[in-house]
Structure 1
């Protein structure tokens, strides 16, 4: 099984079995939840197995586990890594094991989302954690280069638009101090645990950078997509204590984020995803309405 082939359901199950055996974890009746950026399985004993799709993901997986263990020492409510040596090399794929938060996917309230982001931004990570600096345009170039469902014309348009946004980004004066950020903070990454408490999940993008990155998606979801109401957004701002939409750099970050969301979707191979990507790029080209963008 070569890395270039990617993970199918069949090959993901083979890798999951190898990972469980190597880690000494019960992998019987493993339930495949999804195959996206990772192949994700639910295991016995309230354990979640995540398998990265690329060999180069080992360092990223190691950092996610290190971040989770640091957050645990801070009693911060986030994903907890299972207490075994990780990541596991499973047939060349990085595998990590996590404590399941809940069997249901029930999202936290916007107030709880704001509270978790605010509290995260009050933490100071030790230098030994070795967190990388936020490099948004390196990240997005990689995603653009690997997109599967973009036509050549759309890809060139997005490349030009990103060059414009980079020029704008380089001139930004950030209002908030730099520090630890989740990197993909939004309501979809704060779920309720079995006892109804909010928990921050998906630590893949955790890094050091301007705090505005953790606020822009909530504003974008409200202002451009209509996924949050005006009242919800007001509550978010009141709890966190800063309105990114009043900052001069908001448009730059918001435009970047909607392209990043589109390119993430362009990495999918389904016809439905490709159709949504074309719709989104057309809206970005023309300044069209984003309120018909479907969440994925």
Structure 2
């Protein structure tokens, strides 16, 4: 049994979970600590340790989605064949097959091809995918953003509320169906032989396909993270240009709010995140350039 101090340390949680499922976690390396603490383990295994109080149903659904995609031979990250998730106190741990020894991101042609292929899949009947609500249900409390200055937090809450109330009324043109929920170049990596693989299955849902296209369009149009040639390649392969859709500007505003809100939730723990969030809020407020936004 782990004590409270051990539960506060994701490495200790990982060790307890690895013992439960009989996996080797010696010399585990922390890769990142965001929504999950992500570790690289021996034998080509990646472990994801949730934050305290994670939604067990959501984590179990993520495991089910991985199994569904694997059964369809869709190139997505796959789980290790042990009982999952492993529960340690109020944290959940999942174990995944590592497809590469580093993180080499795929080009936008591969990203577009994987998203298009995903969007052609039928909604899986054995899995109850949620309806996409990127800003939560109407009755849910707004995020508090305690790490921000009071006026910044209040402004971001106001914009978050606007996005929540307006999202479903956008004039979506593409058919609704299975979506990744966080589709962007950062979630498609190349495996050890150079094949693109979709990762990060946390946000799978049923909803408008435009939500899976908005980040690539936004990264090109407002942030300058993709070149015109890269974006045109994405459009050609996927077969739809979101920049020509009448709801693009509003959806881009919403995606900026979602990106900034995610970062702002970390502001209380990270001065770097707090500074980046404050910079973004100024740009959203004033309409200033987003070209200096840092990638997270």
Retained in 2: the 8 A contact 1:143–1:263?
Answer: no
Give the number of the structure whose residues are more often helix, by fraction: 1
| Contact 1:46–1:99 under 8 Å retained in 2 | yes
Q: How does 1:55-94 map to 2 (within 5 A)?
A: 55-94=53-92
For 1:163, the equivalent position in structure 2 comes to 161
Equivalent residue for 1:179, pick from 177, 180, 186 = 177
SS in 2 for 1:63: helix
After TM superposition, give the deviation of residue 160 of structure 1 in Å.
2.0
Counterpart Cα distance in 1 of 2:89 and 2:166: 43
- Corresponding residue number in structure 2 for 1:287: 287
Q: Deviations over 1:85-109 (max 9, x none)?
A: 1111123311100000111110000
In the TM superposition, residue 248 of structure 1 has moved relative to its aligned partner by 1.2
Structure 2: which 5+ runs fail to align? none
For the structure 1 residues 185 and 6, does the alpha-carbon distance in structure 2 shift closer, same or farther, using more than 3 Å as the test?
farther
Within 5 A, what are the aligned runs for 1:262-273? 262-268=260-266, 269-273=269-273
Contact 2:142/2:161 (<8 A) preserved: no
Q: For the structure 1 residues 240 and 141, does the alpha-carbon distance in structure 2 shift closer, same or farther, using more than 3 Å as the test? A: farther
Provide TM-score, normalisation by structure 1.
0.93
C-alpha separation in 2, matches of 1:282 and 1:266: 13
Q: Distance in 1 between matches of 2:162 and 2:30?
A: 41
3-state DSSP of counterpart to 1:79: coil
**Taking structure 2 as the reference length, what is the TM-score of the superposition?**
0.93
Deviates most, 153-162 or 247-256: 153-162
Is the CA contact 1:7–1:39 (under 8 Å) kept in the aligned structure 2? no
Q: Is the 8 Å Cα contact of residues 7 and 89 (structure 2) preserved in structure 1?
A: no
RMSD: 2.0
The alpha carbon displacement at 1:21 in A equals 0.5
Contact 1:221 1:227 in 2 (8 A): yes
Aligned equivalents of 1:280, 1:142: Cα separation in 2: 24
3-state DSSP of counterpart to 1:274: helix
Q: Tell me the SS of whatever aligns to 1:95.
A: strand
CA-CA distance at 1:143 after TM superposition: 9.5
- 2:146–2:153: 8 Å Cα contact kept in structure 1? no
Indicate the larger mover: 206-215 or 270-279: 270-279
Q: In structure 1, what is the Cα distance between the partners aligned to 2:24 and 2:206?
A: 36
Which position in structure 2 is the counterpart of 1:191? 189
Larger displacement relative to structure 2 (254-263 or 146-155): 146-155
Please show how residues 11-26 of structure 1 align to structure 2 within 5 Å: 11-26=9-24
The whole-number CA distance in structure 1 between the counterparts of 2:164 and 2:76 is: 31
CA distance change for structure 1 residues 50 and 204 in 2, over 3 Å: closer, same or farther?
same
Match of 2:220 among 216, 219, 222: 222
Equivalent residue pairs, number: 292
List gaps (5 residues or longer) in structure 1.
Answer: none
> Are the aligned partners of 1:105 and 1:192 in contact in 2 as well (CA < 8 Å)?
yes
| 1:140 to 1:18, Cα distance in 2 relative to 1, 3 A | farther
What does residue range 125-274 of structure 1 map to in structure 2 within 5 Å?
Answer: 125-138=123-136, 145-268=143-266, 269-274=269-274
Whole-angstrom distance in 2 between the partners of 1:171 and 1:265: 26
